[in-house]
């Protein structure tokens, strides 16, 4: 039985993992722009959107590669290609297309290549890093470091190598997850640079829980991943990529070895190579199906991604398996296709040139040039979000806040919006504070002198009948009674149980109101800055389920458990009690959401606290409700809560099992039918 | 005192740092600006035509001892080899011999199996009883060939012994061409084996490495050349179906489209060339190009006629099942090889020869009106985004807006505009479907635009949805699945079923009385299993569908050219295939002076200066896709890739570009292109039938052509 349950759980976990893994991206190209392949940029909703062509594939170079692994282009526009299959490094002069080889007979499995500022060539081979001079003569070999600090069991199988201006050598090694091996120019081990780490996330935890021991190390290892590839810019800043990592798969280290890039959602999980150009722009290749090449600005924000993985393709911009990337002095991108055994060269279109121009001009503070470049970008692509942000930032600098906030809103750039909104609110207060105080004082004075009640008497409206009607309405009285929960919650639950003070139909009404308030609050009323939801992505049915189903499941689960646990509450009591417990949400969520409209991120904590308070209060009410309605002691109560949770989980699991089995059955019937039809 | 000194020191330090940083920044800036100025328009790439290698090629003496002369006229003589069916054609005008086998094959040291393969007249594929692929070459002992001559016709009967398959082909000798015909009725299968493909003369015109200067021509995009070379950027052969893949068979693929059923070979530019025209069966024909690095060092190109379509049906929980249809397609296969010599032996000559064929067939008619050129303005109507319960419509352009835009453009010097109204169908663009050709009343009516030349945009083939499931009228493919293509996250494209496409296209054309621009139908050709229509039957239906009507068409394939009044979205480049070395304006040369053609939407161009120059060189009228409202309003709709339509930001550009392009093209309006040469890399010289000459300089340096100075990135008319 236990085995059976474990198996079902395994199937469910695998099923969920599969659902995530097969979420494939975009395939067909846009027909409007007649581009050879799609280019993506960050769009207005923060997700990738089709953008104008940024790089045009201009050349495909075939120099008879066998199993190429890495490409590097030095300052003199000479490309070096490490070919593991041919056991050499090719030296390709871009200007003349002249090809020579380096390391013939020395290298056994070259996987990485780079040069230092003197033009010496460093090659990462399987057991050593070799240093050749410009002409290809072997100068020295950097074998496994002998220093104790390196670690006795540490692996030394160099895959990639870079050298900084001072001659320090940075080496990535297969199977060595301690960090990047750093040697000085004499080959002495200086220590590990930029170690990676692992965060125990919930999904990792669950995976580890259900996977077998062997699978655990392959699929959910707690050891950090080894750095896949690295690059160094002219300021000696090291950049790394980690294949198979999520969130922090791309890193830019400052001199002390800390990552300065924030997590970004578009970072790939299958990076293969990285390079940096003279302006600090970052270029990567990965193994994704769409957007193989990414181009980022120096801050690591994505500008473009293009290219796709497709085996056996004969089109430019499609790769069998892109392995390496390099940029020459004219900012052309060279992509090494390992499977296709060729190199594809891409050149900036005038659109991409405008984008670079805008960013460089902005960084230099040349706002006039930046503005005209950004406007030209928007002429060509209205969904290019960084142009709106750029224009917004310029407007902000020039203190044109109205314009800035408009751009930030369009770009959905909330931190900028928050800053500008703060300024605008400040201005507004400065302008209107005097008036507001005067109005307030006048209103208070009027109250003091009973002006309101006198005015009321003058109108001669008789409300006694109306009041009477309200007092007689059962519903109104029930709702009024609800307010008591803020003062004496225990009494309320007691009355629900024994006094039948609230009818079930009123609870249903509350149930509906609860759902609607949550949906409307989240999507429409909450302040723009605090809204994490978008009507475009809203699934109304899902929202209904999200708010409604949880409550229903909780009530059913609790009822089932407490009947076994000799609880005293009826189903009806639990349901009404649950709904009444949520009174703080029902009454105050909308006002709190309204307040959030006037807050910026500076006062964001205020909103968080208020919101948290409402939910905490509701949960306290729920706790009281359970103990009161079932008349539980502390021990019973705790057991009840745990069992209720388990019951809910089991209900969900049963549903899933039922669903999967039904789907299997349906598939089986379809298969049977098809086979019957086509075989005969 | 010391305090002051400190301040001075500090101040000067700051000053020096600031100066240093500023200078450094300038360097970076200088670099970037330099790039802007010196970067060239991809001139070295396949987006341009390169200079021809005009070295004379001398074939030497050709040994015809194994061959018998079978057919002859005053221009050509056909030789036939009984042993392997190989043919050689002597072009008497140039004394050049075209061989379907390899000349002097003994020089290469091939083994017998390779020799047999390279000299065979045909290759046949079939499936045996177990479903395994088998091949037979003409030179195999299993193939028994018998030939007979009557008049100008050579008939070869083929019996494939063990395969129990028979077929025959007829070679007819015409003035400058030979015609190869395999009749479907002559194919017979007497055993259990099923014929699947026939390739005729695969090595006809094969070139060893770069031994012969010249190229292969492909009808890809505007036209593509592949110059002979000893290596290639691809490591497997290139195959493509004419008119693209059949959506009824291939799932989720949209390959590049070869819009004309032709290809060409040039052996020695301006010496010898051959144009190959697949006159029948092209809907089931695959074009294959094999570069020198794949098969024994030969560059060669051929077509394969697929006599039936083999596919795999996957069944959940079991292996895939091989499906072999019982009957062959009931379509004849006919290929015409036209031989061109001397100054006609190049892609221009091929275009001219093909144009003559189209004129003879009544597909093209000369249109020598020298009216000023017009401009296509496509207006985007409306689309919707998701709301809480109801859809939120974004009305981007109404008919009133178009009238205002028209006034504005006319004021700016843009006249002769014709409008196409995209997304004016009921309930917005995402709602388009084969049945939805009604004008959306919220945007006005066709009547509002009676004073303008306006066409309703209708795409009967494609429809979009945010889900993979689509109600009905959608093509169900061979695998019994609704065929869709994922365009973007939450955007799926569907094809309508073939029967409805035909039915509703006729209705729509009737409803708008010809004021309709047809998209999709012109370049998507597919069969429909459920309606029992093969691709070839669809082709036949399409070519007679519109009768004598001529409509604006988006990228029409060969079979719709006769019904095309305006060719829209004319490609300016070849498809970016890796092995292609040059783009040539083949389509433009073919159609100039016959059908007016319009560029892709220039406001969506990433290299606008380059594309405008290309329009001038190729005689392409400009086209723009615009909307009255800003494009970002569409960002939450399924039409988010319409990101550059905002009229206010492109209006000036349209006016400026129209004035520039029309000032040149008006001078050659109604004329045909008679010559085009590349005197230097990045320079094009195009001659027109009215004596005008357009010189375009794509380089960053001025160029002196025969005493005429053409500025950098500019043009001259002479």
SS3 readout for A228-271? CEEEECCCCCEEEECCCCCCCCEEEECCCCCECCCCCCCCCCCE
Contact (CB<8Å) A675/B318: yes
Taking the C-alpha atoms of residue B142 and residue A461, their distance in angstroms, rounded to an integer, is 111
Q: Is the Cβ of A348 closer than 8 Å to some Cβ of chain B? A: yes
Mean pLDDT by 10 residues, chain A (680 residues): 53 46 49 82 87 92 91 94 95 92 93 93 93 92 90 89 93 87 91 80 77 75 84 92 87 86 86 94 93 92 92 87 93 93 92 93 93 94 92 94 93 91 92 92 89 82 82 81 83 80 87 92 88 76 86 91 83 89 91 91 91 93 88 86 91 92 88 71
Q: How confident is the model at residue B149 (pLDDT cuts 50, 70, 90)?
A: very high
Q: What's the token pair of residue A101?
A: 């080889």
DSSP-derived secondary structure letter, A522: I
Contact (CB<8Å) A34/B649: no
Residues in A touching B488 (Cβ below 8 Å): 26, 49-50
Helix (H) or strand (E) holding A550: helix A540-564
DSSP-derived secondary structure letter, A199: -
Q: Indicate the SS3 state at residue A101.
A: strand
* Model pLDDT, residue B394: 93
Residues in B touching A50 (Cβ below 8 Å): 488, 640-641, 643
Q: Indicate the SS3 state at residue A297.
A: coil
* Model pLDDT, residue A24: 38
- Locate all alpha helices (DSSP H) within A101-177, ordered by sequence: none
- For B308, B309, B318, B321, the CA distances from B130, given in Å and listed in that order, are 17, 17, 18, 12
pLDDT at B377 exceeding the cut of 90: yes
pLDDT at B570 exceeding the cut of 90: yes
Q: Is the Cβ of B236 closer than 8 Å to some Cβ of chain A? A: yes
Q: What's the token pair of residue B358?
A: 């189209």
* Model pLDDT, residue A22: 38
Q: Is the Cβ of A20 closer than 8 Å to some Cβ of chain B? A: no
Contact (CB<8Å) B578/A330: no
Q: Is the Cβ of B126 closer than 8 Å to some Cβ of chain A? A: no
Angle at A224 between CA A223 and CA A225, to 5 degrees: 115
Of A11-25, B63-77, B693-707, which range is least confident?
A11-25
Among partner residues B32, B316, B635, which is closest to A360 by beta-carbon distance? B32
pLDDT at B32 exceeding the cut of 50: no
Complete edge-to-edge strand list for the sheet that includes strand A98-102: A68-73, A78-83, A88-93, A98-102
- Give the helix, strand, coil percentages of chain A, each rounded to 5: 50, 20, 30
What mean pLDDT comes out for the span B530-547? 89
Q: Is the Cβ of A61 closer than 8 Å to some Cβ of chain B? A: yes
Q: Is the Cβ of A53 closer than 8 Å to some Cβ of chain B? A: yes
Mutation target for B interface from A23, A25, A31, A539: give the one with most B CBs within 10 A: A31
Beta-carbon contacts of residue B646 (< 8 Å; ≥ 6 apart): A379, A382, B626, B627, B629, B630, B631
Residue B305 near residue A656 (C-beta atoms within 8 A): no
Q: Is the Cβ of B479 closer than 8 Å to some Cβ of chain A? A: no
Among partner residues B25, B323, B604, which is closest to A33 by beta-carbon distance? B604
What mean pLDDT comes out for the span B209-237? 93
Q: Indicate the SS3 state at residue B323.
A: strand
Among partner residues B386, B569, B643, which is closest to A381 by beta-carbon distance? B643
Other CB atoms within 10 A of residue A120 CB = 16
Of B20-24, B157-161, B241-245, which range is least confident?
B20-24
Residue B195 near residue B213 (C-beta atoms within 8 A): no
Q: How many CB pairs under 8 A join A and B?
A: 202
Residue A651 near residue A553 (C-beta atoms within 8 A): yes
pLDDT at B669 exceeding the cut of 80: yes
Chain A residues 390-419 within an 8 A CB cutoff of chain B = 410
Angle between helices B647-665 and A367-380 (to 10 degrees): 80
Residue B273 φ then ψ, to 5°: -150, 165
More confidently predicted of B118 and A194 = B118
pLDDT at B482 exceeding the cut of 80: no
Contact (CB<8Å) B636/A50: no
pLDDT at B170 exceeding the cut of 70: yes
Residues in A touching B489 (Cβ below 8 Å): 25-26, 47
Residues in B touching A59 (Cβ below 8 Å): 44-45
Q: Which residue of A has its CA nearest to B488?
A: A26
Chain B residues 648-687 within an 8 A CB cutoff of chain A = 649-650, 653
What mean pLDDT comes out for the span B596-621? 94
Residues in A touching B232 (Cβ below 8 Å): 62
3-state SS of A437-504 is HHHHHHHHHHHHCCHHHHHHHHHCCCCHHHHHHHHHCHHHHHHHHHHHHHCCHHHHHHHHHHHCCCCH
Residues in B touching A377 (Cβ below 8 Å): none
Taking the C-alpha atoms of residue A252 and residue A235, their distance in angstroms, rounded to an integer, is 12
Q: How confident is the model at residue B15 (pLDDT cuts 50, 70, 90)?
A: very low
- Locate all alpha helices (DSSP H) within B92-167, ordered by sequence: 112-119
Q: What's the token pair of residue B388?
A: 């809480």
Helix (H) or strand (E) holding A83: strand A78-83
Taking the C-alpha atoms of residue B113 and residue B124, their distance in angstroms, rounded to an integer, is 16
More confidently predicted of B313 and B158 = B158
Contact (CB<8Å) B39/A353: yes
Q: What's the token pair of residue B536?
A: 């070839």
Q: Is the Cβ of A671 closer than 8 Å to some Cβ of chain B? A: yes
Distance of residue B62 Cα from the nearest chain A Cα, in angstroms: 34
What mean pLDDT comes out for the span B172-192? 94
Mutation target for B interface from A28, A66, A539: give the one with most B CBs within 10 A: A28
Taking the C-alpha atoms of residue B645 and residue B631, their distance in angstroms, rounded to an integer, is 6
Please choose, from the candidates B116, B86, B112, B110, the residue with its C-alpha nearest in 3D space to the C-alpha of residue B98. B86
Please choose, from the candidates A497, A533, A435, A515, the residue with its C-alpha nearest in 3D space to the C-alpha of residue A631. A497
Contact (CB<8Å) A279/B31: yes
Contact (CB<8Å) A60/B578: yes
More confidently predicted of B491 and B86 = B86
What would the DSSP string read from start to end of B242-300? BTS--TTTSSS-----B-SSEEEEEETTTTEEEEEEEEESGGGEEEEEE-TTTTTTEEE
- Locate all alpha helices (DSSP H) within B514-646, ordered by sequence: 535-545, 586-591, 608-618
Residue B626 near residue B645 (C-beta atoms within 8 A): yes
Mutation target for A interface from B41, B520, B615, B632: give the one with most A CBs within 10 A: B632
Q: Which residue of B has its CA nearest to A339?
A: B235
CA atoms within 13 A on the CB side of A222: 8
Distance of residue B521 Cα from the nearest chain A Cα, in angstroms: 14
Contact (CB<8Å) B233/A61: yes
Contact (CB<8Å) B321/A347: no
pLDDT at B252 exceeding the cut of 70: no
* Model pLDDT, residue B695: 96
DSSP-derived secondary structure letter, B363: S
Q: Is the Cβ of A27 closer than 8 Å to some Cβ of chain B? A: yes
Q: Which residue of A has its CA nearest to B291?
A: A314
Q: What's the token pair of residue A503?
A: 């009818």
Distance of residue A314 Cα from the nearest chain B Cα, in angstroms: 6
Taking the C-alpha atoms of residue B38 and residue B229, their distance in angstroms, rounded to an integer, is 30
Please choose, from the candidates B242, B377, B272, the residue with its C-alpha nearest in 3D space to the C-alpha of residue B654. B377
- Locate all alpha helices (DSSP H) within B512-646, ordered by sequence: 535-545, 586-591, 608-618
3-state SS of B652-682 is HHHHHHHHHHHHHHHHHCCCCEEEEECCCCC
Contact (CB<8Å) B389/A540: yes
Q: Is the Cβ of B25 closer than 8 Å to some Cβ of chain A? A: yes
* Model pLDDT, residue A21: 38
Q: Are strands A169-173 and A158-163 parallel, antiparallel or unpaired?
A: antiparallel
Contact (CB<8Å) A56/B47: yes
Contact (CB<8Å) A314/B579: yes
Other CB atoms within 10 A of residue A533 CB = 13
Contact (CB<8Å) A50/B640: yes
Contact (CB<8Å) A50/B488: yes
Q: Is the Cβ of B643 closer than 8 Å to some Cβ of chain A? A: yes
Q: Which residues of A332-365 are buried (b: 16+ CB within 10 A; e: fewer)?
A: bbbbbbbbbbbbbbbbbbbbbbbbbbbbbbbbbe
Q: Indicate the SS3 state at residue B454.
A: strand
Taking the C-alpha atoms of residue A459 and residue A444, their distance in angstroms, rounded to an integer, is 21
Contact (CB<8Å) B317/A668: yes
Of A241-245, B31-35, B510-514, B609-613, which range is least confident?
B31-35
């Amino acid at each position: 039985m236990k085995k059976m349950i474990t198996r079902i759980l395994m199937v469910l976990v695998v099923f969920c993992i599969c659902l995530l893994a097969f979420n494939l991206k975009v395939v067909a190209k846009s027909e409007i722009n007649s581009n050879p392949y799609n280019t993506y940029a960050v769009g207005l909703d923060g997700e990738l959107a089709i953008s104008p062509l940024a790089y045009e594939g201009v050349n495909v170079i075939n120099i008879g590669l066998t199993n190429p692994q890495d490409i590097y282009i030095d300052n003199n526009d000479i490309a070096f290609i490490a070919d593991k299959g041919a056991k050499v490094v090719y030296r390709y002069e871009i200007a003349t297309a002249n090809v020579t080889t380096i390391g013939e007979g020395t290298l056994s499995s070259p996987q990485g290549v780079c040069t230092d500022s003197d033009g010496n060539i460093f090659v990462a081979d399987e057991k050593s890093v070799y240093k050749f001079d410009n002409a290809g003569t072997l100068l020295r070999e950097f074998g496994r470091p002998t220093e104790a600090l390196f670690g006795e069991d540490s692996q030394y199988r160099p895959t990639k190598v870079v050298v900084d201006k001072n001659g320090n050598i940075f080496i990535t090694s297969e199977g060595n997850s301690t960090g990047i091996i750093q040697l000085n120019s004499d080959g002495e081990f200086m220590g590990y640079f930029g170690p990676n780490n692992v965060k125990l996330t919930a999904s990792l935890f669950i995976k580890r829980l259900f996977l077998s021991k062997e699978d655990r190390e392959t699929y959910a290892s707690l050891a950090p991943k080894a750095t896949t590839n690295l690059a160094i810019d002219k300021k000696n800043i090291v950049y790394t990529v980690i294949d198979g990592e999520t969130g922090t798969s791309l890193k830019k280290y400052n001199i002390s070895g800390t990552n300065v890039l924030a997590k970004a959602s578009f970072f790939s999980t299958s990076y293969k190579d990285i390079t940096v150009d003279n302006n600090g722009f970052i270029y990567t290749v990965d193994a994704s199906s769409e957007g193989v090449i990414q181009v980022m600005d120096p801050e690591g924000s994505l500008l473009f991604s293009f290219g796709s993985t497709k085996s056996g393709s004969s089109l430019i911009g499609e790769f069998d398996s892109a392995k390496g990337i390099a940029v020459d002095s004219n900012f052309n991108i060279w992509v090494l296709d390992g499977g296709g055994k060729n190199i594809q060269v891409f050149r900036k279109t005038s659109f991409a040139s405008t984008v670079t121009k805008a960013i460089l001009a902005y960084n230099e503070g040349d706002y006039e040039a930046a503005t005209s470049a950004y406007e030209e970008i928007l002429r060509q692509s209205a969904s290019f979000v960084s142009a709106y942000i750029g224009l917004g930032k310029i407007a902000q600098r020039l203190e044109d806040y109205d314009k800035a906030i408009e751009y930030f809103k369009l770009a959905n750039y909330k931190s900028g919006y928050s800053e500008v909104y703060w300024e605008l609110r400040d201005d507004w207060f400065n302008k209107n504070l005097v008036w507001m105080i005067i109005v307030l004082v006048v209103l208070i004075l009027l109250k003091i002198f009973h002006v309101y009640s006198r005015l009321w008497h003058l109108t001669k409206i008789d409300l006694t009948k109306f009041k009477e009607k309200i007092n007689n309405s059962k519903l109104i009285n029930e709702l009024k009674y609800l307010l008591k929960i803020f003062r004496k919650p225990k009494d309320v639950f007691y009355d629900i149980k024994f006094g039948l003070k609230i009818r079930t139909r009123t609870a249903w009404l509350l149930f509906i109101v609860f759902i609607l308030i949550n949906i409307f609050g989240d999507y429409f009323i909450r302040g723009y800055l605090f809204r994490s939801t978008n009507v475009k992505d809203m699934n109304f049915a899902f929202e209904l389920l999200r708010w409604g189903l949880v409550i229903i499941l909780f009530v059913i689960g609790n009822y089932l458990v407490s009947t076994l646990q000799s609880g005293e509450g009826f189903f009806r009591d639990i349901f009404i009690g649950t709904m009444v417990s949520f009174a703080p949400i029902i009454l105050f969520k909308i006002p709190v959401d309204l307040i959030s409209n006037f807050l910026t991120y500076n006062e964001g904590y205020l909103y968080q606290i208020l919101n948290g308070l409402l939910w905490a209060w509701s949960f306290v009410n729920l706790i009281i409700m359970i103990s009161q309605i079932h008349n539980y002691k502390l021990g019973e109560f705790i057991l009840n809560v745990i069992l209720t949770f388990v019951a809910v989980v089991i209900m969900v699991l049963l549903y899933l099992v039922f669903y999967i089995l039904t789907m299997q059955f349906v598939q089986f019937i379809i298969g049977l039918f098809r086979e019957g039809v086509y075989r005969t | 005192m010391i305090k002051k000194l400190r301040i001075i020191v500090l101040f000067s330090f700051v000053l020096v740092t600031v100066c240093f940083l500023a200078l450094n920044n300038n360097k970076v800036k200088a670099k970037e600006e330099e790039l802007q100025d010196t970067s060239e328009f991809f001139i070295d790439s396949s987006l341009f035509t390169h200079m021809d290698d005009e070295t004379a090629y001398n074939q030497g003496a050709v040994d015809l001892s194994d061959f018998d002369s079978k057919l002859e006229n005053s221009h050509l003589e056909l030789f036939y080899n009984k042993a392997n069916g190989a043919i050689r054609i002597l072009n008497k005008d140039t004394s050049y011999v075209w061989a379907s086998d390899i000349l002097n094959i003994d020089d290469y040291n091939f083994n017998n199996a390779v020799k047999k393969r390279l000299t065979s007249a045909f290759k046949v594929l079939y499936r045996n009883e177990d479903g395994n692929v088998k091949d037979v070459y003409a030179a195999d002992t299993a193939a028994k060939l018998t030939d007979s001559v009557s008049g100008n016709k050579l008939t070869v009967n083929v019996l494939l012994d063990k395969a129990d398959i028979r077929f025959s082909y007829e070679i007819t000798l015409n003035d400058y061409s030979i015609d190869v015909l395999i009749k479907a009725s002559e194919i017979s299968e007497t055993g259990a084996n099923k014929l699947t493909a026939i390739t005729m003369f695969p090595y006809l015109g094969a070139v060893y490495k770069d031994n012969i200067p010249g190229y292969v021509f492909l009808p890809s995009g505007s036209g593509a050349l592949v110059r002979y070379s000893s290596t290639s950027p691809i490591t497997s052969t290139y195959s493509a179906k004419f008119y693209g893949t059949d959506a009824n068979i291939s799932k989720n693929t949209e390959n590049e489209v070869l819009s004309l059923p032709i290809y060409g070979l040039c052996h020695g530019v301006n010496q010898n060339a051959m144009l190959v025209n697949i006159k029948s069966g092209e809907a089931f024909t695959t074009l294959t190009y094999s570069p020198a690095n794949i098969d024994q060092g030969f560059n060669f190109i051929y077509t394969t006629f697929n006599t039936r379509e083999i596919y795999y049906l996957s069944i959940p929980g079991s292996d895939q099942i091989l499906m072999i249809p019982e009957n062959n397609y009931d379509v004849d296969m006919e290929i015409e090889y036209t031989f061109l010599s001397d100054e006609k032996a190049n892609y221009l000559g091929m275009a001219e020869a093909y144009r003559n064929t189209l004129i003879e067939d009544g597909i093209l008619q000369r249109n020598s009106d020298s009216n000023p050129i017009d401009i296509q303005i496509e207006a985007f109507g409306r689309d919707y985004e998701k709301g809480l319960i109801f859809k939120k419509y974004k009305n981007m352009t109404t008919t009133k807006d178009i009238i205002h835009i028209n006034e504005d453009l006319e004021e700016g010097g843009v006249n002769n505009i014709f409008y196409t109204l995209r997304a004016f169908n009921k309930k917005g663009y995402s709602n388009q479907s084969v049945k939805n050709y009604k004008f959306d009343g919220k945007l006005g009516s066709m009547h509002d635009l009676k004073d303008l030349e306006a066409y309703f945009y209708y795409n009967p083939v494609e429809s979009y949805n945010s889900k993979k499931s689509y109600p009905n009228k959608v093509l169900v493919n061979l695998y019994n699945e609704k065929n869709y293509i994922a365009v973007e996250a939450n955007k799926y494209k569907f094809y309508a079923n073939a029967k409805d496409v035909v039915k509703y296209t006729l209705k729509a054309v009737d409803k708008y009385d010809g004021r309709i621009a047809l998209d999709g139908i012109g370049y998507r050709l597919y069969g429909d299993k459920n309606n029992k229509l093969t691709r070839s039957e669809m082709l036949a239906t399409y070519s007679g569908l519109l009768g004598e009507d001529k409509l604006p068409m988006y990228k029409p394939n060969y079979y719709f050219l006769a019904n095309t009044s305006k060719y829209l979205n004319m490609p300016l480049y070849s498809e970016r295939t890796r092995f292609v070395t040059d783009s040539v304006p083949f389509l433009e040369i073919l159609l100039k002076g016959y059908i007016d053609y319009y560029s892709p939407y220039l406001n969506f161009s990433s290299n606008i200066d380059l594309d405008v120059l290309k329009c001038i060189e190729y005689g392409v009228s400009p086209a723009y896709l615009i909307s009255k409202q800003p494009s970002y309003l569409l960002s939450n709709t399924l039409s988010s890739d319409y990101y550059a339509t905002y009229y206010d930001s492109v209006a000036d550009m349209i006016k400026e570009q129209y004035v520039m392009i029309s000032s040149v093209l008006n001078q050659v309006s109604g004329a045909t292109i008679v010559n085009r040469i590349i005197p230097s890399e990045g320079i094009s010289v195009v001659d027109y039938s009215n004596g005008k000459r357009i010189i375009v300089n794509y380089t960053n340096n001025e160029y002196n052509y025969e005493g005429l100075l053409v500025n950098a990135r500019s043009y001259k008319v002479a």
